């Protein structure tokens, strides 16, 4: 094939690029550093993430995606162009076909923004697929069968619960609460309880190191460095896993609330299928310790984490792109 086919999972926290026939070729944080003097992109991905909260006045490092949708159109387009050029080479003669996944709950305006940004970044044709559907394909769920499957995709900016049957989304609910809100809840708790101001990256490290949805049998501790909010001086505290569990309870309850709302609207025939099969969890937030058990306890339906949860969406998008005729009912094209 003369032109390449790319599937891109444009996430709030990480962006992953899948090249048809090759697999995943790029996995970078969704962060872009821009020079304010001449609007030039200084760094993208891992390099730019290192700059978050550490830049001088003339460089701005930011996340162009917020809550799963484009927050800064110009920067998103520059980032997409960087990804396409990195995979296809700088001077590509044949423009690639690109498929991008979007949250099922996003508006028509937000969908059009993604399509336009993709075409402006150098794509020949742009396709859109709903994230829960892509996650279900990537989690190897047989979505074409006439039976209900439930997928909960929890990324950095948005969490989506969806019931999938006969290759389409039957009921879905999207809440703009996910990994980033959990990080914010941790930093707000640390500030309130310990008078310590910490950055987003520190909060994320705490979540990964000692975060748990349920209290752990053996409590673990972590040292946290930051700035004292009263004295303004550097300060070191010790945080326990039980404190983190308490801090992240509100955002987790919102995600569980979305799952309950979907199950309330699900047709009874499909509900019985879900009781048999359980709930499949995908996305980075699914890796939070004990979250599957917390969902099972709250809802009474077994929940289990998909294999490679962070890559489910991009793998599913890649499969849909390689077999576009099978999934054309579920795809928007421009």
**pLDDT band at residue 267 using 50, 70 and 90 as cut-offs:** very high
CB neighbours (10 Å) of residue 277?
Answer: 16
Q: Residue 41: which pLDDT band, with cuts at 50, 70 and 90?
A: confident
Query: 3.90.79.10, 3.90.640.10, 3.40.190.10, 2.40.50.140: which CATH number matches 179-247?
Result: 3.90.640.10
pLDDT of residue 155 exceeding 80: yes
Contact 262, 301 (CB under 8 A): no
Is 262 within 8 Å of 173 (Cβ atoms)?
yes
Assigned CATH for 147-177+252-309:
3.30.420.40
Cβ proximity of 290 and 213 under 8 Å: yes
The average pLDDT across 143-156 equals 90
Residue 41: φ, ψ to 5°: -75, 120
Show me where the domains of the chain are located. 5-29+69-133+313-333, 147-177+252-309, 179-247
Q: Is the pTM of this model over 0.85?
A: yes
**Under 8 Å between Cβ of 175 and 285:** no
Parallel, antiparallel, or unpaired for β 149-154 and 279-282? Answer: parallel
Contact 248, 213 (CB under 8 A): yes
Over pLDDT 70: what percentage of the chain?
99
Average pLDDT over residues 67-89: 86
Same fold, 5-29+69-133+313-333 and 179-247: no
Q: Which option is the CATH number for 5-29+69-133+313-333: 2.140.10.10, 3.40.50.620, 3.30.230.10, 3.30.420.40?
A: 3.30.420.40
Paired tokens of 239: 């945080």
Radius of gyration of the chain, Cα coordinates, nearest whole angstrom: 20
Report the distance separating Cα 305 and Cα 301, nearest Å. 13
> Is the pLDDT at 221 greater than 90, yes or no?
yes
DSSP H or E run through 82: helix 73-88
Q: Are 202 and 236 spatial neighbours (Cβ–Cβ below 8 Å)?
A: no
CB 197 within 8 A of CB 226: yes
Say yes or no to pLDDT of 1 above 80. no
Pairwise CA distance, residues 313 & 109, whole Å: 22
pLDDT tens, residue by residue, 287-315: 999 999 999 999 999 999 999 999 999 99
State the average pLDDT for the chain. 90
């Amino acid at each position: 094939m003369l032109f390449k086919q790319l599937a891109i999972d444009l996430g709030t926290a990480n962006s992953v690029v899948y090249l048809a026939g090759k697999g995943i070729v790029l996995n970078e944080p969704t962060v872009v550093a821009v020079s304010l003097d001449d609007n030039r992109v200084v760094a993208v991905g891992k390099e730019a993430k290192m700059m978050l909260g550490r830049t001088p006045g003339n460089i701005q490092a930011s996340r162009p995606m917020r809550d799963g949708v484009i927050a800064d159109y110009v920067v998103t387009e520059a980032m997409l162009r960087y990804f396409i050029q990195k995979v296809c080479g700088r001077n590509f003669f044949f423009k690639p076909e690109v498929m991008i996944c979007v949250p099922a709950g996003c508006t028509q305006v937000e969908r059009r923004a993604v399509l336009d940004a993709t075409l402006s970044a150098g794509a020949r044709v742009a396709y859109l697929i709903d994230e829960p559907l892509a996650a279900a394909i990537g989690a190897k769920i047989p979505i074409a069968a006439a039976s209900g499957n439930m997928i909960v995709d929890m990324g950095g900016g948005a969490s989506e619960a969806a019931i999938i049957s006969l290759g389409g989304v039957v009921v879905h609910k999207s809440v703009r609460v996910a990994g980033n809100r959990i990080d914010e809840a941790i930093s707000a708790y640390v500030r309130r309880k310990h008078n310590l101001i910490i950055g987003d990256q520190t909060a994320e490290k705490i979540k990964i190191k000692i975060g748990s949805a349920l209290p752990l049998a053996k409590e673990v501790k972590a040292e946290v460095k930051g700035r004292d909010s009263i004295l303004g001086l550097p300060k070191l505290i010790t945080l326990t896993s039980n404190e983190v569990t308490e801090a992240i309870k509100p955002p987790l309850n919102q995600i569980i609330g979305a799952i309950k709302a979907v199950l309330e609207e699900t047709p009874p025939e499909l509900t019985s299928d879900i009781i048999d099969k359980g709930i499949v969890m995908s996305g980075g937030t699914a890796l939070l310790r004990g979250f599957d058990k917390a969902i099972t306890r709250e809802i009474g339906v077994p929940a289990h984490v998909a294999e490679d949860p962070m890559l489910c969406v991009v793998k599913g998008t890649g499969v849909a792109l390689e077999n576009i005729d099978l999934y054309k009912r579920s795809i928007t094209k421009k």
